[in-house]
Amino acid sequence: MKRLILKVSLLLLFITAVINAQVVTPADGATDVSALPTYTWTASTPNYDVKIYDNSGMTGAAVDSAMALATETYIPTVPLKNNKQYWWKVTDAGAVTVTGTFTTFDYLVSPANTITGVPLQPRLDWNAVTGATGYTVTISKNSTFTDPATFTINAGTNLYAIVPESNILDASTVYYWKVVETATGLVSATWSFQTSASVQITVNNPISPVAYLSPYLTWYSNPTGSGIRYRLQLVQQTASPDTTQWASGVNVLIPQYQSGYQSAPLVGGKTYWWRVIALRLYNGNYRVYGYSTPSSFTTAGGTSVVCTPSYPTGGITVTMAPFTAYWYVDQYQ
């Protein structure tokens, strides 16, 4: 009878140990797990072997492991890959094994994977990576990032990057992008998006020479409406401006539904360049959907106009009151 009681007690102890043996973190089936997760579990005897695999059969070489741990915690130092499923197991000295699976988070945020209608100069956003010192974004027309037009943006410690004008994307085109954390080399998943059709803008007026020094500049676009508004840039210089020079002149957001702009007084006898940028709201901000071809005009006259009085002059006596005064200028305009 005592032997039977002893066997039952040992069996209950074993069953209790097995029932209590379980993974705690990452929870079994968890998603959006850090690439450097802290593994915790409950088991029986403090002499644990931990192994992490990238296959459900948990075969072959483990991607990470720790042996003969005295506590029910393992803190790794080598990050896992993002957006990837892993399986792990803990074996204790009593041969009790606990297992679990989880998926690491993908730190890309926006534009959402495979989304369409993206601006030609989009903002790309991602989540922070623990211990990061900086990020580099790569954008390409193919998923292998070997297209000749592939380019990178050094985002520093920012968690976003805006495609610059010098790398404006092609309309109605699929692009692929990824982010690399520069300190660890941790690479995000590769996401894709498709750009919107472009907005075609044609500048219309003025035509050189401009007689009025406060010209009304006009343009039209295709398509029009659909939430489109415009930014006008106007720069005084002889050659077509570069990106930096465009930003240095008049840079004004045109009120909704307007396709014209009344310029402030300009200087006579000077060359001015102007262009119009089509914008739409995207994720709460106006983003670029098209540029007009830069156009130029020259204001008539010289930089100054000389006015010369013609009557009454020379100290003559005026015989009528009121009288009419006359003058002439050195330029027709």
Alpha-carbon distance of 251 to 274, in angstroms, equals 10
Average the pLDDT over 171-181 and give the result. 96
170-178: average pLDDT: 97
What is the reported pLDDT for 257? 87
More confident residue, 308 or 141: 141
Q: Is the pLDDT of residue 16 over 60?
A: no
SS (H, E, C) 140-168: ECCCCCCCCCCEEEEEECCCEEECCHHHC
Highest mean pLDDT among 69-73, 131-135, 167-171, 325-329: 167-171
Q: What percent of the chain is predicted at pLDDT more than 90?
A: 61
pTM of the model: 0.68
Report helix, strand and coil shares of the chain as percent, to nearest 5: 10, 45, 50
Q: Is the pLDDT of residue 10 over 70?
A: no
Q: Please spell the DSSP secondary structure of 87-104, one letter per residue.
A: EEEEE-TT--EEEEEEEE
What's the pLDDT tens digit per position in 265-323? 998 889 999 999 999 999 899 999 999 999 999 988 766 678 889 999 989 988 888 88
Q: Which residue has the tokens 């000389």?
A: 306
Predicted local distance difference test score (pLDDT) of residue 131: 77
The distance in angstroms from the start CA to the end CA of the chain is 123
Most confident of 83-92, 94-103, 238-247: 238-247
Separation of alpha carbons 109 and 291, rounded Å: 27
User: Please, which pLDDT band fits residue 155 given cuts at 50, 70 and 90?
Assistant: very high
Percent of residues, the chain, with pLDDT higher than 70: 92
Which tokens hold the place of 108?
Answer: 């890309």
Give the per-residue pLDDT at 19.
42
- Cβ neighbours of residue 261 under 8 Å, at least 6 residues apart? 216, 217, 218, 232, 252, 254
For residue range 209-246, what is the model confidence (pLDDT) as tens digits? Answer: 887 888 999 999 999 877 899 999 999 999 999 999 99
Q: Is the pLDDT of residue 13 over 60?
A: no
pLDDT for 18 equals 44
pLDDT value, residue 12: 37
The residue behind tokens 């297992």 is: 99
Give the H or E element holding residue 196: none
Distance from the Cα of residue 243 to its chain's centroid: 19
Q: Is 223 exposed, middle or buried (0-12, 13-18, 19+ CB in 10 A)?
A: exposed
Contact (CB, 8 A) for 102 and 29: yes
